Chain A
Amino acid sequence: MTVEERAPDVKEDPNRNVASKSVLKALRRAPVHVALIALLFVWLIPTIGLFINSFRSVDSINSTGWWTVLTAPSGLSLDNYRQVLGQQDLGSNFLNSLYITIPATLIPTMIAAFTAYAFAWMKFPGRTWLFLILVALIVIPLQTTFIPIGRFFSNFFGTNINGSFLAVWLAHTAYGLPFAIYLLRNFMGSLPREIFEAAYIDGASPVTAFFRLALPMSVPAIASLVIFQFVFVWNDLLVALIFIGGNTDNQPLTQSLASLVNSFGSGWQYLAAAGFIAMIVPLLVFLSLQRFFVRGISAGSVKG
């Protein structure tokens, strides 16, 4: 705001002055609103387009743009959704995504919780160094682990588990741990020391202090972490490609969706509806738990 703006003329009629000032202010703000709203418009359009296309028949998708519906709404139906959910494949892919994601979220969070407590409130030699290694592991590219782990899984205590849920659960658990421990340790470490000292004086064991104090007090951080890990695993394509691979029985939604995008053959007409179904779960999580979501995703964004 420039200098002249701050110089109201006191001699003028005060009412008129206020009115002209607010008009002036609104005018000066106009470019801000225009720029911002234009940008938000650009950001929303792609998703709106997909949403509208998901209700249109394959013929209309192929012949006219989705925006024509806005002026002449016709030919919209739930057929695509009926087909996608009725079709065995995508329905079962949806369930696979859930089977993969829920254990792959729960297990690393639990392991991380007590590991983080040990890092935050127990004394042991090498604590700082070990934690620095952990910080380094957060950003390690998963690619550097695929080939050896693939070989390890092909003879995992005598059986080949490549293509099974167990393989992705193990991989996601290990890949998720460094960040999970980091996040929870930072949160638990910031809890007031007096609480734990008082508990120890009262004769509580570290186990009690962990389950009764640290864990309940860390719920906000755990919520952010659970949401982050859930969305990360749900949205993952790479780990599924490597460890589920060609086993179509166990493929998650992302994998079958990716092959739909590439083929203009069977299933192409359901692409929009299938895409919307795949994003509805994380979107609902985002809309319902936005605060934790933003915190979790922002903190974990560097993760491999």
Chain B
Amino acid sequence: MDTRIITALEVVLVVPAVLVGYILATERLISLAHGKWRERIRPWLWLTPAFVLLTAFLIIPTIQTIWYSFHNKDGSQWRGLDNYAWFLNGAGLESLINNVLWVVFLTVGTIVIGLAVAVLADRVRYESLAKSILFMPMAISGVCAAVIWKFMYWYQTPGTTQTGVVNEVITKAGQSPIPFLVDSDYKIATFALIFIMIWMWTGFGTVILSASLKSISPELLEAARVDGASEWQVFRKITFPLLSSTIAVVSTTMIITGLKTFDLVYTLTANGSYDTQTIANEMYNQYFSFSQYGRGSAIAVVLLLAIVPVMLFNIRRFQFQEGIR
């Protein structure tokens, strides 16, 4: 039998047994302690496995990455802010611009389309079917989405039969086909990739916004209509403001998704060709292709800094929720 199966089976059986054994063993250990000490020791023993893993794989590495970012290629010499200067003056600028495009268009796209569908689907009987269809791409990996859209964006030279849906539509409309994925003019390739991500994430926006939409009291909307407000006024003056906190939540998710975008660029434009470079892809390049630990780390820190505001927003929101509880 394949040794990989045996290893995987061992892990699936042994690790859970060890974890349950750990909890039972700590309880034995705790029973040796005196009265109130038991209640004091127990939580820490229960937290230990998670703490060890999080410290070893998230906290310490993050600190080390910050440290590396001020050093040279292999981390042996202090270089101050050199890596950051290199990033902001060179290849990094393109990635930063592209990531701004990703964040802006992805966020606006998913929220506008997501909200439109949530509002429209609320009025039809096939609402749940509509939401399921829209949510389905969320189940698909970035790589599979890349495969799907490789065929969608397929380009054949003008005059020959088009094999991709998008270019077939364009030629039928009398325009010449566009080589979407290899066209850096006007950042066409980048926008083509962003649209794929919108296709993937709109269902998420719809589901979250729709849930929030349904929590608005129908009496409130009806009262406005009785008072003579038009449908558009009801949406703009009542529905939209009441949805604003949900829109903020969806936005933070989309901002993070836009900042961390990697899979589509890696798969469809050979990790950043045709003017599609992003922060995450550039970091992969520096780390993997060039073994530039210092530069790679600096790029990772830039990404971290971009995400810190969202982190703080999440913490605030959590504190607020806990306050309500």
Task: Report A's interface with B, CB cutoff 8 A.
Answer: 1-3, 6, 29, 32-33, 35-36, 39-40, 43-47, 49-50, 53, 61-67, 95-96, 98-99, 102-103, 106-107, 110-112, 114-115, 117-119, 122-124, 127, 130, 132, 134-141, 143-150, 152, 165, 169-171, 173-175, 177-178, 181, 205-207, 210, 231, 234-238, 241-242, 245, 250, 254, 257-258, 261-262, 271-272, 274-275, 278-279, 282-283, 285-286, 290, 293-294, 297-298, 301-302, 304
Do the beta carbons of A282 and B42 come within 8 Å of each other?
A: no
Say yes or no: A106-B15 contact (C-beta < 8 A), given A177-B50, A262-B267. Answer: yes
Distance of A219 Cα from B202 Cα, bound (Å): 28
Please give the distance in Å from A155's CB to the nearest CB on chain B: 14
Distance of A285 Cα from B136 Cα, bound (Å): 11
Contacts A147-B64, A261-B146 aside, 15 further interface pairs with beta carbons under 8 A come to A45-B152, A50-B151, A65-B161, A140-B62, A144-B61, A146-B61, A147-B297, A175-B57, A237-B143, A242-B284, A250-B4, A254-B141, A294-B207, A298-B208, A302-B314
Please give the distance in Å from B68's CB to the nearest CB on chain A: 6
Distance of A90 Cα from B230 Cα, bound (Å): 57
Say yes or no: A298-B207 contact (C-beta < 8 A), given A174-B53, A275-B144, A283-B140. Answer: yes
Can you list 13 A-B pairs, Cβ within 8 angstroms, ordered by A? A35-B120, A36-B117, A39-B134, A43-B133, A136-B315, A139-B256, A148-B61, A152-B56, A237-B267, A242-B288, A258-B146, A283-B139, A290-B132
Please give the distance in Å from A254's CB to the nearest CB on chain B: 5
Do the beta carbons of A147 and B300 come within 8 Å of each other?
A: yes
Please give the distance in Å from A285's CB to the nearest CB on chain B: 7
Q: Does B34 contact A (CB under 8 A)?
A: no
Distance of A65 Cα from B160 Cα, bound (Å): 12
Report chain B residues within 8 Å CB of A112.
50
Report chain A residues within 8 Å CB of B137.
43, 47
Closest CB pairs A-B (n = 9):
A235-B141, A174-B57, A275-B147, A148-B61, A145-B61, A118-B46, A148-B64, A286-B139, A124-B43
Q: How many residues of B contact A (CB 8 A)?
A: 111
Distance of A95 Cα from B39 Cα, bound (Å): 45
- Residue in B23, B257, B293 whose Cβ sees the most chain A Cβ within 10 Å: B23
Please give the distance in Å from A245's CB to the nearest CB on chain B: 8
Do the beta carbons of B135 and A294 come within 8 Å of each other?
A: yes
Do the beta carbons of B58 and A145 come within 8 Å of each other?
A: yes
B238-274 contact mask (Cβ, 8 Å, vs A): 1 or 0: 0000000000000011001101101100111010000
Q: Does B280 contact A (CB under 8 A)?
A: yes
Do the beta carbons of B27 and A207 come within 8 Å of each other?
A: yes
Please give the distance in Å from B152's CB to the nearest CB on chain A: 5
Say yes or no: A140-B307 contact (C-beta < 8 A), given A50-B147, A65-B168, A132-B315. Answer: yes
Distance of A138 Cα from B256 Cα, bound (Å): 11
Closest to B24 in A: A207
Do the beta carbons of B57 and A45 come within 8 Å of each other?
A: no
Distance of A275 Cα from B267 Cα, bound (Å): 13
Say yes or no: A139-B311 contact (C-beta < 8 A), given A40-B130, A53-B151, A63-B161. Answer: yes
Distance of A234 Cα from B143 Cα, bound (Å): 11
- Which one of A110, A165, A254 lies within 8 Å of B143 (CB-CB)? A254
Do the beta carbons of A174 and B133 come within 8 Å of each other?
A: no
Do the beta carbons of B133 and A40 come within 8 Å of each other?
A: yes
